């Protein structure tokens, strides 16, 4: 009986996490791609003269679970100061784009 209760609780927790993740992916990937290129790419993909080498960060730089974790813990990111001023809908669109093109997605995508 105790094992059944533990298994039921684990299933509920898993279903809740999946539900949260799916709710976070209810964005527009086309708009997310545009916003990523506008808001994120300048810092993560370009290398201005005199700057340290750029750190590539396209959709395929992380797996889907890693993108979810990034957005769940966005307040820990160095660029959070910029993110906190963005509408939540825009962040959802960006996550939807990145998640859909992640390294382990059916269609990995490099942002170029």
DSSP annotation of 48 reads -
In a domain, 111, yes or no: no
SS3 assignment, position 109: coil
SS3 assignment, position 37: helix
pLDDT tens, residue order, the chain (112 aa): 777 667 666 556 544 444 444 455 799 999 999 999 998 887 776 555 544 555 678 899 999 999 999 999 989 988 888 888 899 999 999 999 999 999 999 989 987 5
In a domain, 52, yes or no: yes
In a domain, 106, yes or no: no
For the domain that residue 25 is a member of, what is the CATH number? 1.10.760
> What pLDDT shows up at residue 33?
95
In a domain, 80, yes or no: yes
In a domain, 108, yes or no: no
DSSP string, 66-90: HHHHHHHTGGGSTTHHHHTTS-HHH
In a domain, 109, yes or no: no
59 touches 111 (CB < 8 A):
yes
Enclosing domain of residue 19: 2-100
In a domain, 112, yes or no: no
**Overall number of domains in the chain:** 1
């Amino acid at each position: 009986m105790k094992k059944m209760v533990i298994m039921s609780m684990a299933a509920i927790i898993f279903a809740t996490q999946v539900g949260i993740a799916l709710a976070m992916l209810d964005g527009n990937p086309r708009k997310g791609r545009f916003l990523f290129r506008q808001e994120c790419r300048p810092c993560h993909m370009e290398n201005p003269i005199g700057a340290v080498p750029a750190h590539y960060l396209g959709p395929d730089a992380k797996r889907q679970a890693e993108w979810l974790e990034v957005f769940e813990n966005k307040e820990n990111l160095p660029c959070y100061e910029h993110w906190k001023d963005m509408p939540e809908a825009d962040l959802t669109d960006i996550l939807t784009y990145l998640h859909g093109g992640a390294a382990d997605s059916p269609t990995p995508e490099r942002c170029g």
